[in-house]
Amino acid sequence: MKMGDWRTCHSFIINEKMNSKVWDLFPETQRVREMLVRKIQEESLRTYLFTYSSVYDSISMETLSEMFELELPTVHSIISKMIINEELMASLDQPTQTVVMHRTEPTSLQNMALQLAEKLGGLVENNERVFDLKQGIYGGYFNRDQKGGYQQKQGYQREQRGGYQQKQGYQRDQKGGYQQKQGYQRGGYRNQNQSSY
* Number of domain units in the chain: 2
Please indicate, yes or no, if residue 164 is contained in any of the structural domains: yes
Q: Which pLDDT score is estimated for 196?
A: 44
22 and 96 fall within a common domain: yes
Average pLDDT in the 119-124 region? 91
Of the CA atoms within 13 Å of residue 142, those in its CB half-sphere come to 10
**3-state SS, residue 146:** coil
Beta strands per DSSP E along 71-141: 90-93, 98-101
**Identity of residue 104:** T
Q: How confident is the model at residue 155 (pLDDT cuts 50, 70, 90)?
A: very low
Give the rounded distance of the alpha carbon of 49 from its chain centre: 24
Q: Taking 60 as the threshold, does the pLDDT of residue 166 lie above it?
A: no
Q: How confident is the model at residue 99 (pLDDT cuts 50, 70, 90)?
A: very high
Q: How confident is the model at residue 23 (pLDDT cuts 50, 70, 90)?
A: confident
CATH number, position 72: 1.10.10.10
Q: Which pLDDT score is estimated for 180?
A: 53
Residue of 3 and 65 predicted with greater confidence? 65
**Residue pLDDT, tens place only, 33-48:** 899 999 999 999 999 9
Please indicate, yes or no, if residue 27 is contained in any of the structural domains: yes
Summary count for the chain: helices (H), strands (E): 6, 11
Q: Which pLDDT score is estimated for 135?
A: 82
Q: What residues have CB less than 8 Å from 150, skipping those under 6 apart?
A: 139, 142, 143, 144
Average pLDDT in the 171-179 region? 54
Please indicate, yes or no, if residue 125 is contained in any of the structural domains: no
Please indicate, yes or no, if residue 189 is contained in any of the structural domains: yes
Contact 167, 157 (CB under 8 A): yes
157 and 96 fall within a common domain: no
Q: Which pLDDT score is estimated for 92?
A: 94
Average pLDDT in the 85-112 region? 85
State the residue range of the domain holding 187: 153-197
Domain boundary among 62, 77, 101: 101
Domain boundary among 75, 101, 127: 101
Buried b (16+ CB within 10 A) or exposed e, 11-49: eeebeeeeeeeebeeeeeeeebbeeebeebbbebbbbbb
Query: What residues does 59 pair with on adjacent strands?
Result: 99
Q: Which pLDDT score is estimated for 42?
A: 94
24 and 87 fall within a common domain: yes
Q: What residues have CB less than 8 Å from 182, skipping those under 6 apart?
A: 168, 192, 193, 194
Cα-Cα-Cα-Cα dihedral of 78, 81, 86, 91, to 10°?
Answer: 70
Q: Which pLDDT score is estimated for 20?
A: 85
Please indicate, yes or no, if residue 111 is contained in any of the structural domains: no
Q: What residues have CB less than 8 Å from 78, skipping those under 6 apart?
A: 42, 45, 46, 70
